[in-house]
Structure 1
Amino acid sequence: MDDQAQLLPLYEQVRRSILAGIEAGQFAEGSFLPAEPELMAFYGVSRITLRRAIGDLCADGRLQRQQGRGTVVMPDKVRQTLVSLSGFSETMDGLGRKAGHRILARDDNPDAPAIRERLRAAALIRFDRLLEDGGRPMTLETLWFDAARFPEIVEPVAAGGSFFTALRDKAGIVPAHAERQIDVGLASAGERGILAVTAAQPVYRIEKIVTDREGRPLALSQLVTPSHLVTYTIKT
């Protein structure tokens, strides 16, 4: 350890050492850290110091404490650009990750007059989907679109396909504009169970509406993503 690192508080030295181990693959994503007594002996620190170091890494989203199981190493954050028009699959493909869409529910005649009006939909349809990163839960999405305008897209989406890919390949349409509204809050009990987060972990709540070149709405998505999984950037 260099002289500059030795000037840092002991918990910060331990935090950096654990983080370096994660980045070097010593502690693999999805694996559990060794038990506290083993880590205390390895780093030569007290339980209080170790727990503060681990607590900071949990707050940063690199670790997650799981009741009765231990502390698991979380995957590195996905970096997304807020002004991008890409869909989830396209974004993940560009990052070299494997995207998945698991259908949780489908409603062919949802009672949602406000959304029906916003989309100008003749036959509104709703899909509740779990968007996955390499099989891991990442985002809960409620997707709405007009099944009368895009009948050829319904079954590809119902089969777990990308809406944006189906829109392009089946209807020959590529979104031209997108508007997003972003809030930060806490997950509901049901959302926590699906996304595997605690009651104290914040989530992004994003509403996204995409439109074509003429400004006609194509789809509306309501997304819930744990904040420790994603970093959003804005390019101007």
Structure 2
Amino acid sequence: MEPNEIVERLQLSMDAALPLYEQMTSALRQQIRSGALAPGDKLPTENALVDALHVSRTTVRQAMDQLVDEGLVIRHRGRGSFVASPKMKRTIGGLYNFTENMRELGAEPSSVVLVNEVVDLDAEADASSGAAGNVPSPAPAVIRERLRLPASQRQVFHLKRLRCADGNPVLLEDTYIPYYLCAGVEQGDFAHDSLYQALSTRYALNLYHATETIAAIAIDKAEAQLLECAPKTPGYRITRVSNLDSGLIYEFTSSVTNAEKCEFQLELYSNTAKARKPMAFQRHVSL
């Protein structure tokens, strides 16, 4: 939708009890949520809104600030304001499955498989494959330590995927699983199938507990190319170690995501006997 069309659809009433900025916020919010305004649509400039609606700059700024706070609008310096891609929420306090979570949020998950191989950690070759677009992978010693592999076990299943929602890259995911737990798993079609579902149905490996560590990073050139962002864009590296109910570690995953598309939310409670509750930690992903 063109900016002038957006202005034409904004109907503000000077006599209404609702403040003008709230009327503007509500009208634009409705257009965005109904799909009349699509992600990436450019919004009218501040001057255009002031002139067309005969309102103050303060009114326009309050409305736009509210929409930015809600994640519905994004500002680009020197370019203007645009409809943001929809925010996707993830509760990290609970066990997480990318495929299921995307579908719950109304997005269609998909994956591009970059590496699907069985790796011998004792071999001199690097654990990552050249097919991954030269994106670095954790060193074999790190993988062995994170998985706490028995000395007698050398092989791991290595799956590197670009995880997408509605065709937009969200996560670059690098997963390692002890091969003795899942022999033959590399034959799966993980461009379309869920890895966790395959592990559960074929090998009775069911995720019971996981620990995630989140670190701020600058996305490198190879990762940025896959995530469709500029090199050195701020991002997060999320490492995950997953356990079976027996306590055995069966997965180590290292993921990279663009910080502009991911927001973490932590809810805190007072530490009293009556108010003591589990923390709710959410990840909001913008497509």
How many residue pairs were aligned? 231
Instruction: Say whether residues 1:33 and 2:45 are aligned partners.
Output: no
Instruction: Say whether residues 1:153 and 2:162 are aligned partners.
Output: no
Q: Deviations over 1:180-213 (max 9, x none)?
A: 1112344333333332345686433211111101
TM-score, structure 2 as length reference? 0.63
Distance 1:107 1:143 in 2: 11
TM-score, structure 1 as length reference? 0.75
Distance 1:53 1:200 in 2: 32
Instruction: Say whether residues 1:98 and 2:108 are aligned partners.
Output: yes
Which 10-residue stretch deviates more, 190-199 or 84-93?
A: 190-199
Shift of 1:162: 1.5
In the other structure, the counterpart of 1:205 is 237
For structure 2, list consecutive stretches of 5 or more residues without a partner in the other structure: 1-12, 120-126, 128-138, 268-276, 279-287
In the other structure, the counterpart of 2:222 is 190
Q: Structure 2 vs 1, CA of residues 99 and 52 (structure 1 numbering), >3 Å: closer, same or farther?
A: same
In the other structure, the counterpart of 2:175 is 143
Shift of 1:156: 1.6
Which 10-residue stretch deviates more, 55-64 or 83-92?
A: 55-64
Distance 2:77 2:225 in 1: 14
In the other structure, the counterpart of 1:116 is 144
Instruction: Say whether residues 1:74 and 2:84 are aligned partners.
Output: yes
Q: Which has the higher Rg, Structure 1 or Structure 2?
A: 2
Q: Structure 2 vs 1, CA of residues 91 and 158 (structure 1 numbering), >3 Å: closer, same or farther?
A: closer
Distance 1:40 1:195 in 2: 37
1:89–1:162 contact (8 Å) kept in structure 2:
yes
Distance 2:190 2:264 in 1: 29
Which 10-residue stretch deviates more, 73-82 or 164-173?
A: 73-82
> 1:142-181 maps to which residues of 2 (within 5 A)?
142-156=174-188, 158-181=190-213
2:209–2:245 contact (8 Å) kept in structure 1:
yes
Distance 1:233 1:98 in 2: 26
Instruction: Say whether residues 1:88 and 2:98 are aligned partners.
Output: yes
> Matched residues, percent identical?
24
Q: Structure 2 vs 1, CA of residues 140 and 63 (structure 1 numbering), >3 Å: closer, same or farther?
A: farther
Q: Structure 2 vs 1, CA of residues 106 and 200 (structure 1 numbering), >3 Å: closer, same or farther?
A: same
Whichever residue aligns with residue 142 of structure 2, its letter is A
Distance 2:162 2:84 in 1: 18
Whichever residue aligns with residue 85 of structure 2, its letter is P
